[in-house]
Amino acid sequence: MTQPPLLDQWPLLSGLGVSLGLGLLMGVQRGWTLRREAAGSRFAGIRTFGLLGLSGGIAGTIQSIDRIAAGVLLASAALLLMLGYARSVRETGRISGTNALAGLVTLGCGFLAASGSPQGAAIIAVSATMLLTLRPQLHRWIKGMTETEVSAVARFALIALVVVPLLPDHRLGPFEAWNPRQLGMVVVFVSGFSFAGYLASRRFGATRGTLLMAATGAMVSSTAVTAALATRLRDDRENVPVLVAGIAAASTVMLIRVILLVALLAPIALPALSLLLAPAALVSLAAMIWGLLAGRHAGVPEASPVALRNPLNLVTALVLTALVMAMAVAARWLIERVGEAGLAAVLALSGIADVDAAIITIGGLPAGLLDSRTAGLVVAAPVMANTMFKAAVAVAIVRTRRGLLAALPLVASVAAGGAMVAFLR
């Protein structure tokens, strides 16, 4: 009988190889973690985990030929794991199913890798290895959590992972301007950044934590970051200059991000846009530095504890969502009325909620439709409108002089960019 060439067996061999490799990866982590255990007290080490991954791979390979044999192999390996776990508990008196569960995960990853899902198996195995490696940090984090924090995590998970995915993902309402799932993501962003700011403040201190949340959050939504920080500005115990610095930092990151996106997606607009946005970014950066320097003399200790009042501030999130809904309807109405002739006005209005959409729109226009100067102005319009919208959000949420202080850097950055229009050629 003619044997199939090695090349034809490559999918089978590669699947088994991945199964073995993932098993060895899990085995290295478990072996290192249990390296101080007495000889013979471990029922699974690097070799056993490697064989578990390979066993799962063999079961995944033969399932198309004989499902019963594959099931028997998986069940036998799982039974051996359970027997080993029972023996370990009996001899040591310690109840910990981590090793047995890690073995079952390894067995399942091996099966997935050889049955056509090697990437999924790799993601699961690497994630499980990271989770096992972070055991000391996770335990310290759990011990330091309060009941309120645990409740906040559970509520956020309910909103982000259950409620929002169940919302319809199609347009509804006047002019079909509302996508319920996208509006739900606005709520997730605002409440999520609020909670992230709290956690970052606890971990890195008030100043560094606020700036870290603002800078990273602005990569997704600087408007949501502004709303979250503006909510904290209402508390008399907060360091006001540092929160203003966080809002300015989010604006700086947003402006730089827009320039980079335009360079990639709509390069025709880059020269004019850079001339307009670079001064705006410098003003925001200067405001951030001022806030940091002023924050040192604000009378609030750097490491002062942040009271977890309501990290998932749904009132603020819902107010912002209502504003986004109103502006989306207004943008659609304007499109219906003026058509392409009002392109800049339409993009400026729609860009209040989504600057990226305006950039993508410009990048997708036919070549030669707009010259460089006009393209730069058309892209700058939604960016400036978005910045002014964030200033209005800060004032509306805070409703005191602090709101005006938070809005001042944003308005100043728009003024700096607007002043450069006269220099466009």
Mean pLDDT, the chain, whole residue set: 77
Going by pLDDT thresholds of 50, 70 and 90, the confidence category of residue 413 is: very high
Q: The whole model's pTM is what?
A: 0.54
The backbone region for 176, taken as left when phi is positive above 0, alpha when psi lies in -120 to 50, beta otherwise, is left
41 CB neighbour count, 10 Å cutoff: 11
Looking from the CA of 302 toward its CB, the CA atoms found within 13 Å total: 12
- pLDDT tens digits for range 31-51: 887 776 665 556 667 888 888
Q: Is 172 helix (H, G, I), strand (E, B) or coil?
A: strand
The pLDDT of residue 152 is: 74
Residue 123 pLDDT > 80, yes or no?
A: yes
Tokens describing residue 392: 């209005």
- pLDDT tens digits for range 293-342: 887 765 554 434 344 444 555 666 676 677 667 766 765 676 567 654 55
Tokens describing residue 332: 């659609």
Residue 191 pLDDT > 60, yes or no?
A: yes
Residue 156 pLDDT > 90, yes or no?
A: no
User: Which residues are registered as beta bridge partners of 172?
Assistant: 178
DSSP string of 201-266?
HHHH-HHHHHHHHHHHHHHHHHHHHHHHHHHHHT-TTS-HHHHHHHHHHHHHHHHHHHHHHHHHH-
Average pLDDT, integer, range 110-125 = 87
- pLDDT tens digits for range 212-268: 777 777 766 778 788 888 888 887 777 888 888 889 998 998 898 888 878 877 788
Question: CB within 8 A of 283, min separation 6: which ones?
Answer: 409, 412, 413, 416
Dist CA 64 CA 60 (whole Å): 8
